[in-house]
A and B are shown apart, each in its own frame.
Chain A
Amino acid sequence: MPQSNFNNPMMDVADLPQIQELDKQRLSEKYASTNLKVGACVVLLLLIIAFILYFQPFIEVSQNIRQNLLFISSAIIIIVSLVVLLGYQADIRKSYTLRDLDIHYSSGLFFRKTVSQPITRIQHIELKRGPIDRKINLAKLQVFSAGGAMHTFEIPGLPLETAQQLRQYIIEHKDVTNHEK
């Protein structure tokens, strides 16, 4: 019966902590630049593949097919490079904020969004590190709530130490340890 003896006095909204005044922390500088480098490698690889396909001497193909190939491959390469460049722009705009009782993550290039996760609702935490992350000593923090897999709270590109500190902070947080007592 959560509602029966519930008492919550009115507060002036202006006195509440404000999420519009978050003190935003940048992600590791290596994160955006590495993503850009990886993207550049992918574009380069695509270029090489297209080049080989176009100038390969093994199979005789008609002029028509060669023309189409040129068109399709250049379209793909232009789109991929655009995605990479926009991705870089988006990456350098990502930021997070840790407050005493909640954690926030802002992202998005055109569609800006700020996700706020109260620490008391956290179910469990994971640090994820792919091969590239391990190489450059970064980590991705994943925070799971009961909101479901669609709404996993994620902060990518954290320096490993920061990520571990954040993880430790959340685990030892009184809101989490007192959860069901």
Chain B
Amino acid sequence: MKNDISQQQESKINDSAEQKIGTDDHSANWQQLSPIAILYFTASSFKQIFSNAFYLIPVLALNYKSIIQHPYIWIPSILGLVAILIVFAVLSFKVYRFRLTDNNIEIRSGVISKKHLNLPFERVQNVKIEQPLYYRFSGHACLQLDTAGSAKNEAKIIALKLELAEKLKSQILQHTKQSKPIGESKFASSQTSPSNNTTETTLNTRSLSDLIIHGITSNRIWIFLGGLAPFFDDIATHIGDWANKLGMDFKALFSLQTHSMLEVGLYALSLTILIMLILVSFSVIGSIISFYGYTLNKLDDRYIRRSGLLTKHEVSMRLSRLQMVVRKQDWLDLILKRINLKFEQNSSIENSMNASAATNKIIVPSVKLNECQDLIDDAYPQNKLAQLINQQGFISISKRFIARNIVLIWMPIWIVASLICWFNHQAILILITTTLLALFSGLTVLRWRRWGIAQDQNFIYIRKGLIGVDYYCFPTFKVQQTKFLQTELMKRRELASVKFVLASGALKIPLISQELAFGLINDCLFKVESSKKSWM
């Protein structure tokens, strides 16, 4: 959806930009990809089918015995599917054409529904180079161009020679720089010319041990376990058989007749630890695969993140596109004194594709406290986050938050659950629901303790969390919209909630004093409207 405003701007930008990038060897003609792209098309449609077939897993899990018993059905059907995929990949490759002109890129693709994409360079938000494993031998890479708009306008040139991709990337980024606001572009051009564009300063690298720590602390293994649930029974019997072959007998091992209570307890404990260890190692492997060889570099005003063991990802972001810095610490991170630092940019890109969401954000996994503050200071030199954290400078939210959440959320659930138990003559279960109520009330208190807000001349800082603690810091002028929320009851107690909407998402701070809420919004609107600076 374009409007009059942006079209006006566009034409202006086009005029100024055309002079810069003139003659080029690889322009004007429709080009075909190198045949290695067939591999890419096959792999991507394979991935798509798998992610769609995810919902079928429970069905397959229930029936898989009867499916396995009929190989003459499933073997040909799988072979047929693979054949269709390959044919489709070859066709996709055959119809795919791209063309580069002075300041835009055109891509024609699609076997069944034809697509023709025309993307002017100045609309490009972000340029990423991606190198899947199978491209590494032939030296190819994918060049992905993100736009501020919807996912449909996303361009991906599949299979370019790596050098060409790099060259094109610097060309496009050079182009976006041209279309910066006048004051800034003067500054940039006096400082840097295209020739010294190659000197990148490294801000941060992550060693293997850091990644192992990251794998342990960001353990997402319970999700994986949930997915495995239908197979538990089979897995258990398989493991039992396997252990029997090795000469171990679980039944005898855990029998209280042959062993003492202590022994059985120790066996059980060590078995649990063993399983946990295996599961954690999965998470560690995942972390290493996505973050291996992590470097965060800085080139002029751009941050470039490179990582990946199998598929090498590269994400670059201009500092001016940065919306918010998020500093996350879970409970394990608190113990190990590590932080996950995130640089968040426009989220309309991220929402569009769940798969690449993690690679789009610039995340620095498990950094040490001092490194983290250095990075934040580099991005936002005037921030006072460190002082605020040290001096407890955050303003807490009202204690009524505890009462409100317990009375309005947990109590009704508790009452309903208890009544259900009572009427089903399971009075003993009420004990459990009451314990749960106490637990959730305790968590509410923790949540209240974490929630806080602080503000200085340039930034707003929000602290929240449950057991861990997260800090959000954003420049006040980047706010897109503010919301003031108040119920009649809150009004009587002079309390209010405030929501700040940024291009990277919304942040809410509940139940602060009405005066503070008005002050925050007034100050925020003042800074947005008086600064005249673009949020991009």
Listed in ascending order, the chain A residues whose CB lies under 8 Å from chain B are 1-4, 6, 8, 10-11, 13, 16-20, 101-102, 110-125, 145-148, 150-151, 153, 171, 175-181
Contact = CB atoms under 8 A, between A and B. Distances in A.
Given A111-B486, A112-B486, 4 more contacts: A6-B382, A8-B458, A18-B518, A125-B3
B255 interface: no
Given A177-B5, A181-B182, A148 B532 contact: no
Interface string B1-23: 11111101100110000000000
B483 interface: yes
Nearest to B301: A1
A153 B521 contact: no
12 contacts: A1-B184, A17-B525, A101-B525, A102-B529, A111-B487, A116-B521, A118-B525, A120-B529, A123-B6, A146-B536, A180-B181, A180-B534
Nearest to A180: B9
Contact of B481 (A10, A13, A18, A121): A121
B370 to A, nearest CB: 21
Contacts of A171: 4-5
Given A16-B523, A101-B529, A147-B503, A4 B487 contact: no
A181 B5 contact: no
Given A1-B187, A116-B481, A180-B9, A13 B148 contact: no
B45 interface: no
Nearest to B4: A171
Contact of A102 (B184, B506, B525, B536): B525
Contacts of B4: 171
A2 B501 contact: no
Nearest to B533: A2
A153 B506 CA distance: 14
- 4 nearest CB pairs, A to B: A124-B3, A147-B501, A146-B503, A147-B480
Nearest to B182: A181
Interface in B51-97: none
A115 B4 CA distance: 24
Interface of B: 1-6, 8-9, 12-13, 148, 179, 181-182, 184, 187, 301, 319-320, 346-348, 351, 380-382, 457-458, 475, 477, 479-488, 491, 501-503, 505-506, 518-519, 521-523, 525-529, 531-536
A123 B6 CA distance: 8
User: Could you say which of A10, A17, A180, A181 has the most chain B C-beta atoms within 10 Å of its C-beta?
Assistant: A180
A171 B152 CA distance: 27
Contact of B457 (A4, A8, A102, A122): A8
Contacts of A11: 526
User: Could you say which of A1, A119, A171 has the most chain B C-beta atoms within 10 Å of its C-beta?
Assistant: A1
A96 B486 CA distance: 17
A152 B9 CA distance: 22
A122 B518 CA distance: 22
A114 B319 contact: no
Nearest to B323: A146
B301 A117 contact: no
A151 B5 contact: no
Nearest to A10: B457
Given A3-B382, A18-B518, A19-B522, A145 B501 contact: yes
A159 B375 CA distance: 51
Contacts of A123: 3, 5-6
A114 to B, nearest CB: 4
Nearest to A20: B518
A117 B148 CA distance: 20
A124 B536 CA distance: 16
Nearest to A105: B483
A17 B475 contact: no
A13 B518 CA distance: 10
A113 B13 CA distance: 39
Given A18-B518, A116-B525, A123-B6, A146 B182 contact: no
Contact of B526 (A17, A148, A175, A176): A17
Given A113-B485, A123-B3, A4 B381 contact: yes
A2 B319 CA distance: 8
Contacts of B534: 179-180
Find the residue from B301, B458, B503, B528 having the highest chain A CB count within 10 A. B528
